[in-house]
Amino acid sequence: MVQLGRDLFFDTDLSRNRTMACATCHAPEFAFTDPRTTNVGRAVSLGDDGVSIGARNTPTITYAAAAPAFGTRADHVHAGGMFMDGRAADLAEQAGGPPLNPIEMAMPDKTSIVERLKEKPDYVRRFRAVFGDTVFASDDAALAAMTKAIASFEATPEISPFDSRYDRYLRGEYVMTAQEELGRVLFFSRQFTNCNLCHQVKAGGAEGETFTNYTFHNIGTPANPDLATGGGPDLGLAANPLIEDKAAAAGRFKVPSLRNVAVTGPYMHNGVFKDLRTVILFYNKYNTKAERRQIDPETGRPWAPPEVADNLARVELETGPALDDRRIEALIAFLRTLTDRRFEPLLDNPPAR
Residue 330 lies in a domain: yes
pLDDT at 169: 98
Residues 271 and 295 in one domain: yes
pLDDT at 95: 97
- Which burial class, exposed, middle or buried, applies to 81 when counting CB atoms under 10 A from its CB (0-12, 13-18, 19+)? buried
- Name residue 79's beta-bridge partners: 71, 215
Cis peptide leading into residue 266 (ω within 30°): yes
Residue 34 has pLDDT above 70, yes or no: yes
Residues 105 and 191 in one domain: no
Over residues 63-87, the pLDDT tens digits come to 999 999 999 888 889 999 999 999 9
Report residue 126's pLDDT band, with 50, 70 and 90 as the boundaries: very high
Backbone phi, psi, residue 163, to 5°: -130, 25
Residue 74 lies in a domain: no
pLDDT at 173: 98
50: domain CATH number is 1.10.760.10
Residue 54 has pLDDT above 80, yes or no: yes
Over residues 217-245, the pLDDT tens digits come to 999 999 999 997 667 899 999 999 999 99
**Smallest Cα–Cα separation from 98: which of 20, 208, 3?**
20
3-state secondary structure of 91: helix
Residue 159 lies in a domain: no
pLDDT at 76: 87
Residues 217 and 120 in one domain: no
**In percent, how much of the chain has pLDDT > 70?**
99
Q: How many domains does the chain have?
A: 2
Residues 216 and 317 in one domain: yes
pLDDT at 296: 98
3-state secondary structure of 216: strand
pLDDT at 230: 66
Give the mean model confidence (pLDDT) for residues 158-173: 98
Residues 17 and 105 in one domain: yes
Residues 147 and 200 in one domain: no
pLDDT at 190: 85
Over residues 252-262, the pLDDT tens digits come to 999 999 999 99
Give the mean model confidence (pLDDT) for residues 26-54: 95
| DSSP symbol at 294 | G
Residues 180 and 284 in one domain: yes
195/28 Cα distance (integer angstroms): 28
28/49 Cα distance (integer angstroms): 22
Residue 160 lies in a domain: no
| Cβ-Cβ contacts under 8 Å for 273 (sequence gap 6 or more) | 265, 266, 267, 279, 282, 298
Residues 229 and 295 in one domain: yes
pLDDT at 134: 98
Residues 315 and 255 in one domain: yes
Residue 81 lies in a domain: no
Domain span at 271: 165-347
**In percent, how much of the chain has pLDDT > 90?**
93
Residues 238 and 303 in one domain: yes
Q: Which residue stretches of 262-345 are H helix? A: 276-284, 314-317, 325-336
Residue 85 lies in a domain: no
- Name residue 301's beta-bridge partners: 296
Question: 9, 23 in Cβ contact below 8 A?
Answer: yes
Question: 331, 194 in Cβ contact below 8 A?
Answer: no
Residues 224 and 259 in one domain: yes
Residue 73 lies in a domain: no
103/86 Cα distance (integer angstroms): 20
Residues 115 and 241 in one domain: no
List own/partner pairs for 154-157 with CB under 8 A and 24 or more apart. Answer: 154/5, 154/9, 154/61, 154/64, 154/65, 154/91, 154/95, 155/65, 155/91, 156/2
Give the mean model confidence (pLDDT) for residues 205-222: 96
Question: 218, 310 in Cβ contact below 8 A?
Answer: yes
Residue 49 lies in a domain: yes
